[in-house]
Chains A and B, each alone.
Chain A
Amino acid sequence: GNSVTQMEGPVTLSEEAFLTINCTYTATGYPSLFWYVQYPGEGLQLLLKATKADDKGSNKGFEATYRKETTSFHLEKGSVQVSDSAVYFCALSDFTSGYSTLTFGKGTMLLVSP
């Protein structure tokens, strides 16, 4: 079956530091890959996505590249802000059943201090 593994948190950084959150996946076929962000007390928001190998998704300074050879989709940001503090979820979807269901990783909490 499908699975997503992401690094354990919390990740604690100072403002303007470089961020990497690792995500690897196992899937049959050719899934689409996503990063979702959950701010405190809120639901999930789609942050970025990539639908095929070598695609780079980007949004709000975050980016992630779909690496089929390493089955990875690591999230990066060059300079984090306090407002980036949230839980980040890596997820994949496949359409083998004719519709999409998401498989999520366990989430990584990011804490950014001033």
Chain B
Amino acid sequence: SAVISQKPSRDICQRGTSLTIQCQVDSQVTMMFWYRQQPGQSLTLIATANQGSEATYESGFVIDKFPISRPNLTFSTLTVSNMSPEDSSIYLCSVLRDRDMFFGSGTQLSVL
């Protein structure tokens, strides 16, 4: 398994501001992923973050809005930039280990 610590667990933000979400894994992993779960919806992959390279974004997501850092093999951050109420969602990081995907506890973001 994998132990994933995600911070903050929740936040309430004003529109136009930015929030950075941190994800820490208990041991090194090659691939980390960021997902969004909009209210009442399933999970949508935002991007894949590999250490030492630019993140790969899925259709509909862009780096200017969701910049990602991956400075080492146990840590990643996702920033939600210039927030609007439509960004209110749960954001989850996940890691791939031994062909299984493990998830952090999520960050519940509300934008006013």
| Interface, chain A (partner B; CB < 8 A) | 32, 34, 36, 41-46, 49, 51, 89, 93, 95, 99-102, 104-107
Contacts and interface: CB of A to CB of B under 8 A. Distances in A.
B48 A101 contact: yes
Contacts of B45: 101-102
Contact of A100 (B41, B99, B105): B99
Given A93-B101, A102-B101, A107-B42, 20 more contacts: A32-B99, A34-B101, A36-B103, A41-B108, A42-B105, A43-B6, A43-B92, A43-B104, A44-B103, A49-B100, A51-B99, A93-B99, A99-B31, A100-B96, A100-B99, A104-B42, A104-B43, A106-B41, A106-B42, A107-B41
Interface SS, A side: strand
A101 B96 CA distance: 9
Interface SS, B side: strand
Contacts of B41: 106-107
Contacts of A49: 100
Q: Which 6 residue pairs of A and B lie closest in terms of their CB atoms, listed nearest first?
A: A43-B105, A44-B103, A43-B106, A104-B42, A43-B103, A106-B42
Interface string B26-57: 00000101000000011101001000000000
